[in-house]
């Protein structure tokens, strides 16, 4: 088992930030909604990784596990709704590319 020290925490945080930034770049560069879904899952993976050092604080270990459970189930539900939205978008527009999605907004 690895003890958490500053070096270990730095490795975890750097990995988490790199995965998060790659997720951001994938989301910004995406041309279809499936790539957007994949990038969101990557970002949640980065969030899971950033939770690990919280477990090393003895009084917060149980709270950290509770946060991990809630995060995993909440993100799963959110992604499930996005998958349904992709299906509905395909039925309505016959296309899943982001260029077919037009901004709404108020009309003056």
User: Is 99 among the residues that bind another protein (CB under 8 A)?
Assistant: no
User: Is 87 among the residues that bind another protein (CB under 8 A)?
Assistant: yes
Comparison of 42 and 102: residue with beta carbon closer to another protein: 42
Terminal C-alpha separation, the chain:
62
User: Is 7 among the residues that bind another protein (CB under 8 A)?
Assistant: yes
Comparison of 92 and 106: residue with beta carbon closer to another protein: 92
CA neighbours closer than 13 Å in the CB half-sphere of residue 24: 8
Burial tier of 34 (Cβ tally within 10 Å: 0-12, 13-18, 19+): middle
**Restricting to residues 12-71, which ones interact with another protein according to CB under 8 A?**
12-15, 17-19, 21-26, 28-32, 34-35, 37-39, 41-42, 44-46, 48-49, 52-53, 55-58, 61-62, 64-66, 68-69
CA neighbours closer than 13 Å in the CB half-sphere of residue 106: 1
User: Is 102 among the residues that bind another protein (CB under 8 A)?
Assistant: no
**Helices 33-50 and 6-29 sit at what angle, rounded to 10 degrees?**
170
């Amino acid at each position: 088992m690895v003890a958490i020290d500053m070096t270990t925490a730095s490795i975890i945080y750097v990995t988490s930030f790199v995965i998060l930034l790659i997720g951001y770049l994938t989301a910004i560069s995406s041309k279809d909604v499936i790539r957007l879904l994949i990038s969101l899952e990557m970002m949640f993976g980065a969030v899971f990784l950033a939770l690990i050092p919280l477990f090393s604080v003895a009084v917060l270990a149980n709270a950290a596990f509770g946060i991990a459970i809630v995060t995993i189930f909440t993100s799963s539900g959110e992604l499930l709704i996005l998958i349904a939205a992709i299906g509905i978008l395909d039925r309505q527009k016959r296309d899943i590319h982001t260029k077919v999605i037009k901004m709404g907004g108020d009309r003056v």
